[in-house]
Amino acid sequence: MKHLHLLCTLLFGVAVFLFFGLAYPHHLHYQEQYQLFLFDSTYVWEIVKQPGGVVDLLGRFCTQFLLFAWVGAGIIALLLSAVQLLMLRLFKVHSSQFIVHSSYGLSFVPSFLLWLFLLDENALLSGVWAVLLTLLIAWAIVKLTKSWMRRVLLIIAIPVLYILVGPVCFPIPIESLWHGIHYYRYPMVFPWLLWAAAFSAFVLIFAIRFFNRKVTASNRLVLALCSFALVAAIMGVLVWKNANFKAEKVMQYDFMACHQQWNRILETVNAEKPNNQIGVTVQNLALAMRGMLLEHMFDYNQNSIHGLLPDVKTDATSPMPTAEAFYQLGMINVAQRTVFEAQEAILDFQKSGRCYKRLAQTNLINGQYEVARKYLMALQKTLFYRDWANETLPLLGNEKAIASHPEYGRLRQCAYNEDFYFSDHVTPEMLESLYFRNTVNRMAYQYLLAYCMLTGDRERYNHIISKEQ
């Protein structure tokens, strides 16, 4: 029987692992890029001193690993499996074998609800840690102590747990209690699914103890399997129905643009033509990076000039692929502004490794070495950006090394040398100025002509072609 329980937990863990690894990897990348975990005592203290700070720290620590989707999927699978195992342990305390087995499937309910919670790209791992730590401490108290001592400890545990994990330890749906606790990226949104997961854990543990007094029976194996299958089927359908695969696709395009996977982008758009703005922007960027934009842009969906260089919006997500296009074009100040604004727009006020990296690059290209150094030194305190920061720091002030660098040298040559003002729109004059500054900048050439084609500006198109010839 014990092996059957372990097998079901394993099955559940593998399902979670495969789901996040295969079907939802870019949601994990998305999570990673909107935080910057620093191995720094001040950073840690600033988090830990808040209510729920310990789980926030644990959540942020784990989130940095989501840069590698399979590692992230493994972490989530382990956390959700651990929640289920703890639920089962708590079921077993003072319950008859019959009750434990007939309600075995219910031990998966909080884990499934947490899985549902994590389908939302704004749900944070701190919530999962909060449920896990609450159950762990509850189990430890129940397991290690006897009667009166247990009651005393439970009373003491609630305020201590509140400091460590926040209101999940006492799941009352009063919004003011949950306000300011970092379980969800929108500070003003009440995380109902997380609350439901925490609440279900409480309700189930007490319900099991209640039914324990009422019934007894045998045939444990069938009961356990049936209850597991029932819960797994219902919850599995709920997970699949609530997964946002449309967003996953958009995040995939953003991820590929961020990692400059131009060939992979072209393979993806050939398999399924994107019809959302980010997808089209990334598709056009990849085509231009491979010198194919002018010949092949109309083989794919276009979204007028909004699919080429869309107006920058004040959110954290949509400007990032556009910023990548600005950067690759050599519009360094425009890229810098776009990335800075995107980072400032992160809803829970966190910083972003991806943004810090790009801001270090744009400042380096612009010769603002002290500002670049500031970003690089912060990245040195991270696990996965440290090597890159260490490699980049010696470039600061080294004009010769920057000039011969394949990326920074090229972008310095392409960047504007004539100053003008720009606002939220990219105008053809901006592209024209970029192109005539350096006619070797084929990206600018392609974008300029593509702009003319998409707006039907024949006069400008002919003018550029004649100049080119």
Interaction residues for other proteins, span 57-76 (CB under 8 A): none
Here's the x/- map for other proteins, 289-328, by CB under 8 A: it reads as: -------------------------x--------------
Number of residues located near other proteins, criterion CB under 8 A: 38
Query: Shortest Cβ distance from residue 421 to other proteins (Å)?
Result: 4
Q: Is 331 in the site for other proteins (CB under 8 A)?
A: yes
Among residues 383, 394, 262, which one has the least CA distance to residue 321? 262
* HEC string for 158-216: HHHHHHHHCHHHCCCCCHHHHCCCCCECCCCCCCHHHHHHHHHHHHHHHHHHHHHCCCC
Is 333 near other proteins (CB under 8 A)?
Answer: yes
Which of 9/441 has CB closer to other proteins? 441
User: Is residue 377 part of the contact set for other proteins (CB under 8 A)?
Assistant: yes
Using CB under 8 A, pick the residue from 3, 176, 421, 456 that binds other proteins: 421
Q: Does 373 bind other proteins (CB under 8 A)?
A: yes
**Per CB under 8 A, 266 contacts other proteins:** no
- State the nearest-atom distance from the C-beta of 193 to other proteins, in Å: 23
Beta bridge partners of 123: 184
Comparison of 1 and 377: residue with beta carbon closer to other proteins? 377
Query: Which among 21-29, 157-165, 268-276, 367-375 is the span making contact with other proteins, rule CB under 8 A?
Result: 367-375
Least distance to other proteins, CB of residue 345, Å: 5
Residue with Cβ nearer other proteins (99 or 124): 124
Half-sphere exposure of 22 toward its Cβ, with a 13 Å CA cutoff? Answer: 6
CB of 333 to other proteins, least distance (A): 6
For residue 371, give the amino acid letter: V
Q: Is residue 337 within the footprint of other proteins (CB under 8 A)?
A: yes
Tell me how long the chain is.
Answer: 469
Angle between helices 369-379 and 353-365 (to 10 degrees): 150
CA atoms within 13 A on the CB side of 174: 6
User: 152 vs 140, 141, 164, 461, CA distance in Å?
Assistant: 14, 10, 19, 80
Nearer to other proteins, 188 or 271 (CB): 188
Site for other proteins (CB under 8 A): which residue of 378, 395, 449, 464? 378
Distance CA 345, CA 78 (A): 32
Q: CB of residue 40 vs other proteins: minimum separation in angstroms? A: 7
Whole-number Cα distances in Å, 143 to 55, 64, 96, 139: 23, 33, 16, 6
Q: In the stretch 167-186, what mask flags binding to other proteins with x, by CB under 8 A?
A: -------------x------
Q: Are 40 and 9 in contact (CB under 8 A)?
A: no
The CB-of-337 to other proteins minimum distance in angstroms stands at 6
Q: 225 with 103: CB under 8 angstroms?
A: no
Does 190 sit near other proteins (CB under 8 A)?
A: no
Q: Give me 169's structure tokens.
A: 């330890």
Is-contact 159 52, C-beta < 8 A? no
User: Which residues of this chain interact with other proteins, rule CB under 8 A?
Assistant: 40, 42, 180, 187-188, 314, 331, 333-334, 336-337, 340-341, 343-346, 349, 351, 366, 368, 370-371, 373-374, 377-378, 415-423, 430, 433
